[in-house]
Structure 1
Amino acid sequence: MEEPGGARERWRYGPPWSDRPDGAGGHRPRRPWRSTALLTAFVLIGSTYAAHHQPLREPLDGYARVLMLVASALLLWRHSHPALVAYGTCAAALVYLGAGYPYGPVFLTVVVACFGAVVAGHRRAAWGAVGLLWAGHALIGLWLYRRLPPPGDKAAGIGQEIVVATWVLAVLALAELARVRREQWARERADRAQAARRRADAERLRMARELHDVLAHSISVINVQAGVGLALLDTDPEQARAALTTIKDASKEALGEVRQVLDTLRAPGEAPRAPAPGLDRLPELVEQAASAGLTVEVEGGPPRLPPGADLAAFRIVQEALTNVVRHSGSRHARVRLDHDRAALRLRIDDDGPATGADAGGSGNGLAGMRERAAALGGTIEAGPRPDGGFRVLAVLPLTTEGDQ
């Protein structure tokens, strides 16, 4: 049994049988029953009132009311067939006028139909229909009035036709203004939706970079230590135990950083539970690399950095050292930090050679570093050195707190 609310919702737009499936998998457009019914009542009542004040015109009869009902009923299709409705209401109003019936609200149906046609983009149809109605009115008022009812009717005069034309142009101008505003609102909605999609894409890309950098580094350390543990499990249990301890610490840290990244999916406006990593954690990074068998020599110290640049610099060094662990035969790397008031320069070197083995990575490490640098207006250069080994050189623009 259907709920009463559902029935009321359908009746809001007309009787249930008026909105059945059209056979093409969809539904016919819902008819504006309420507004059309109100407008029909206004046209009938208003025309009856107007007839009492125009005794020289033909009295309203059944034929006049049929014409008013036809003109009003056509408005039910003004959303689905705006051009045809514009011409149909103009034709009904012209016949009503030619029959000599009183001037009145019947012309409001023409206004509504043509207004809707213009707003819907059928400008030529609306202008053409109104033009035909005005031409017919001028023809009746200036020439055919002698042969059409009511008897003894007088010529309308040029001034009256100019007034009618002015009203017609005013209505069409308002319709054009509404159409322009509607198109502007549609463009603004589309722009806002596109901007929201771009922001969502940028956020997904940022999260993907963060997760890649966190997991690639930690899992590389875990992979190396797991190999050490397996190799020494029987011959050197204490060293195997140390490798397992390193695996535990690395996995715990990776879980914490992944949780921090995923915290951004919580409700907007909440502060992060932990600060984003920066170059102040470079000693921890060196210790993690050492646990993977890589000795890292650091030259220079970091300046005071904005949070975005600090995080990018940390991730670039982290990814570069991860690539050394995974892809290089060298067990020694050098990290050099140089800076001035304009930029921070990071240089990460290893002596190679490249192992050429498949390390199981995604191949997105260098791309992620370039994206991070580009987001800050910086650059990344990465490639083999002439004397062997591999070098990553990052230049990040920055503004230190002392410059502010």
Structure 2
Amino acid sequence: MDEHRTPGRGGPPPVREARSGPARLWQWAGPEPGGGLPWRSTLLLAVFVTVGSGFASQGQPDREPLDALGRVLLLAGAALLLLRNRHPVPVVFGVAAATLAYFAAGYAYGPVFLTVAVACYAAIVHGHRYAAWAALGGLWLGNLLIGHWLYRHLPPDGDPAAPWGRELPVAAFVVAILAASELVRVRREQWAQQRAERAAAEKRRADEERLRIARELHDVLAHSISVINVQAGVGLALLDSDPEQARTALTTIKAASKEALGEVRQVLATLRAPGEAPRTPAPGLDRLPELVEQAASTGLTVDAVTEGQPVALPPGADLAAFRIVQEALTNVVRHSASRTARVVIHYTPGRLELRIDDEGPAAAASPGGASAEAGGSGHGLAGMRERAAALGGTIEAGTRPDGGFRVRAVLPVRPKETP
């Protein structure tokens, strides 16, 4: 994934999630690094709530002074927060109950609301939004009952009914907690989705790269080994009767194997060092004469014809066209008894058409011959189709009405832009 890619090793620097607003404000309330209990944040919150509630009690003389029971209730609510990431639902209800007991005992309003906010946040971001809403709603309703109906039976003695205007700030605080927690939950889901999309894109790019390398290796090896196989047969047959012709066959084998090794090294170098440019340019239709010469060395006569006004092609289209012609000629050498083939390269505005024909029939040593490739069972035709599809083109391969075999490719292309 992008987040784990090492800078300077063929990939961009790691992507860091930008946190702002409520996400940054509540970031400290998350789990401790390593997945343990959130001791540090809970301890900090317990100290702040206990000390702050002491100061709040001094500023509200009409409420009960903060005594041992009040501190126990404050610490109980804070202690429950240790489990907020493992058991968020029981924690949010437990904190709400401890806070309600604190209010019922007549203690001063103050930082005690922070423990409720953190518990609610933890429940919502862990996917228990309805539990958080229910706990907050129960706390608010309990506060209404205590302040407006049960105050006569609860401390402090002689305490009048709470003014209704005081409920507006409490309601605003409840709404603010819910809104902030929901916002953080949505942002976390967005970050998770973005991470998943980046991981999927990275896997897709890796799969495409592996497929590209497999196509390249198949095209290089299939063509070169076919040439080598034919020439080796010629050399063995003429070794005694015509040593000079056998020497020519061995020279062709050496040249073909050297070229194949060079192209394989180029592909493997790209695989080992993904960020580096290839040392040699990718082959294109400008190397068509080499294909014709290699085919001639196997005894296949190739008539190459160019129609229309040739244009400089983009590297991807040029490479695809070269590999399609190469694979089609390789199939003629391997699967056809014909010793002649015709290659037509037809340029039209915005389109390149390739036609490779042989007279057939299928070679006796290759049952089904080229028609087997037409059925899609061979890797060569599959590779041609993938190359054409990657450019938005098409491949047609099959037996001609006169008994021969034809491969026809249509590639939509734009002329290569000149600097």
What TM-score results when the alignment is normalised by the length of structure 2? 0.86
Q: Distance in 2 between matches of 1:169 and 1:356?
A: 83
Instruction: Report what 2:171 is aligned to.
Output: 165
Instruction: Report what 1:6 is aligned to.
Output: none
Report the RMSD for the aligned CA atoms in angstroms.
2.2
Residue 329, structure 1, aligned to residue 337, structure 2: yes
Residue 307, structure 1, aligned to residue 315, structure 2: yes
Instruction: Report what 2:13 is aligned to.
Output: none
Q: Distance in 2 between matches of 1:187 and 1:105?
A: 35
Residue 31, structure 1, aligned to residue 37, structure 2: yes
Report the CA distance between 1:53 and its aligned residue. Answer: 1.5
What amino acid is aligned across from residue 46 of structure 1 in structure 2? G
- Residues 47-62 of structure 1: matches in 2 within 5 Å? 47-62=53-68
Instruction: Report what 1:73 is aligned to.
Output: 79
Q: Distance in 2 between matches of 1:246 and 1:375?
A: 34
Q: Distance in 2 between matches of 1:56 and 1:321?
A: 98
Q: Which runs of 5+ in 1 are unaligned?
A: 1-11, 20-28
Report the CA distance between 1:356 and its aligned residue. Answer: 4.9
After superposition, give the CA deviation of every residue in 1:322-381 in whole Å (9 maximum; x if it has no partner): 000100011111111111112111111111110253599981111111111111111111
What TM-score results when the alignment is normalised by the length of structure 1? 0.89
Instruction: Report what 1:392 is aligned to.
Output: 407
Residue 98 to residue 380, structure 1, CA distance change in 2 (3 Å): same
**Paired-residue identity, %:** 70
Instruction: Report what 1:366 is aligned to.
Output: 381
Q: Distance in 1 between matches of 2:417 and 2:194?
A: 41
Residue 291, structure 1, aligned to residue 306, structure 2: no
After superposition, give the CA deviation of every residue in 1:44-87 in whole Å (9 maximum; x if it has no partner): 11112222222222222222222111111111111111111110
After superposition, give the CA deviation of every residue in 1:223-282 in whole Å (9 maximum; x if it has no partner): 111222222223322222222221111111001111122232244543221111001000
After superposition, give the CA deviation of every residue in 1:372-396 in whole Å (9 maximum; x if it has no partner): 1111111111001111121111111
After superposition, give the CA deviation of every residue in 1:134-193 in whole Å (9 maximum; x if it has no partner): 000000000111110111212112211122112111111111111111111111111111
- Tell me which of 106, 114, 117 is aligned to 1:111: 117
Equivalent pairs, count? 380
Q: Distance in 2 between matches of 1:172 and 1:296?
A: 76
Instruction: Report what 1:243 is aligned to.
Output: 249
Q: Residue 296 of structure 1: SS of its match in structure 2?
A: strand
Instruction: Report what 2:11 is aligned to.
Output: none
Q: Residue 37 of structure 1: SS of its match in structure 2?
A: helix
C-alpha contact 2:337 2:364 (8 A) present in aligned 1: no
- Residues 173-252 of structure 1: matches in 2 within 5 Å? 173-252=179-258
Q: Residue 160 of structure 2: SS of its match in structure 1?
A: coil
Residue 261, structure 1, aligned to residue 267, structure 2: yes
Residue 166 to residue 183, structure 1, CA distance change in 2 (3 Å): same
Q: Distance in 1 between matches of 2:265 and 2:51?
A: 70
What amino acid is aligned across from residue 243 of structure 2 in structure 1? P
Q: Distance in 2 between matches of 1:297 and 1:260?
A: 30
Q: Residue 270 of structure 1: SS of its match in structure 2?
A: coil
Q: Distance in 1 between matches of 2:383 and 2:189?
A: 40
Report the CA distance between 1:127 and its aligned residue. Answer: 0.3
Q: Distance in 2 between matches of 1:269 and 1:53?
A: 66
Q: Which runs of 5+ in 2 are unaligned?
A: 1-30
What amino acid is aligned across from residue 321 of structure 1 in structure 2? L
